[in-house]
Amino acid sequence: MVTIKDVARLAGVSPSTASRAMHDSSLISEETKQRVLKAMAKLDYSPNFAAQNLANKSSNMIGVILPAREDSVGDNPFFVQIIQGLATICNAHDYMVSVATGQSEEELIKNIETMIKQGNIRQFVFVYSKARDKVLEYVKKQDGVRFVIIGTPYEDQETTLYVDNDNRKAGFDATEFLYDKGLENILYVYTDLDENVQNDRFLGYRDAVKKHGGQLLSLSLGNEDEHKRAKALKDYFKAYPEIEAIIACDDILALKTEYSCEAAGIDVKKLAMMGFNNSAYGRIMHPTLTSVEIFPRFLGSEAAALAIDSNLKIESNCVIVPHKVIERESTRI
């Protein structure tokens, strides 16, 4: 690891002078400051956390990587509960949690780069899994970095550390739950099938529908504009008026779908509805939402355990957390 002594040696000054130059001290000439800055750039030296971690190759900190997208990520209780589970294990091992966010993949990568170079963070947990992820590819290329994915990886499943539910089975079980109630025309709504968890739940839905010889019905509601969501649902229900039930990829989308159905003039009281994550959103809906509990705190705690202890003895590279259907009013029709 590059130290301030290396910077000072390259700049031809003492370590104390190099330190003052980095802090823009008025005691140091502009010419010397420029020499120190050039030496820092050449050695790729970042000083912000150097004193704290100078003697270590890594810090007692886990970087938690949220997906790069709009601000609504912070409103999703799923991510909050995962971080709570992570924090429980981190606290027990005297680790701290640092969260990496970004509005784009490029911004997120830049923030992770800072965490690695300035914070000496060497353990990361991705709280998502998606196809063609530039952020994951960047982290894979970093020397000495250990990472765990919450979700099933799209690639290298045999060698990547990950924690997940069996989301395909969860999607199947949710659909079977509705079939057991005599409902046959079931619509699956989602936002982005590039996200592995949404796609796996869709595949489980598809498996169950095929088992029963039913009709596959799916609709993307990824647009955040409520009017466009309402129009999409109105058009879809016009084409398929036989729809009896809706499975949403998560509770938040279930709530949005309920609002959009009402805006489109669709009588949601005649529809059964299910979501995933068993979040507070479902419990405040009217009627209250039947949802698949996936135990996000357990996902977080298991991921933290894998990330912290490189010597942890595990029988495989993955941990599967169970799921459970929680029935409420929305499927009692």
Distance CA 57, CA 72 (A): 35
Predicted confidence at residue 58, as pLDDT, reads 60
Q: Indicate if the pLDDT at residue 52 is higher than 50.
A: no
Q: Indicate if the pLDDT at residue 145 is higher than 90.
A: yes
DSSP secondary structure string, 234-290?
HHHHHH-TT--EEEESSHHHHHHHHHHHHHTT--GGGSEEEEES--HHHHHSSSPPE
Q: If residue 146 lies in a helix (H) or strand (E), which one and from where to where?
A: strand 146-150
Would you say 224 and 299 are in contact if contact means Cβ atoms under 8 Å apart?
A: no
Residue 31: both structure tokens together: 């010419």
Give the residue among 314, 317, 279, 284 at the shortest CA–CA distance from 296: 279
Would you say 171 and 178 are in contact if contact means Cβ atoms under 8 Å apart?
A: no
Give the residue among 295, 191, 207 at the shortest CA–CA distance from 248: 191
**Which is more confidently placed, 18 or 85?**
85
**Which is more confidently placed, 296 or 68?**
296
Residue 34: both structure tokens together: 């420029």
Q: Indicate if the pLDDT at residue 121 is higher than 60.
A: yes
Distance CA 73, CA 66 (A): 8
Number of C-alpha atoms within 13 angstroms, CB side, residue 324?
5
Q: In terms of DSSP bridges, do strands 186-190 and 162-165 run parallel, antiparallel, or are they unpaired?
A: unpaired
Q: What is the number of other CB atoms lying within 10 angstroms of the CB of residue 191?
A: 19
For each of the domains in the chain, give its residue range(s) and CATH number, in order of start: 4-45 (no CATH), 61-165+297-321 (3.40.50.2300), 167-295+325-331 (3.40.50.2300)
**Averaged pLDDT for residues 99-115:** 94
Predicted confidence at residue 65, as pLDDT, reads 96
Q: Indicate if the pLDDT at residue 124 is higher than 50.
A: yes
**Averaged pLDDT for residues 140-161:** 93
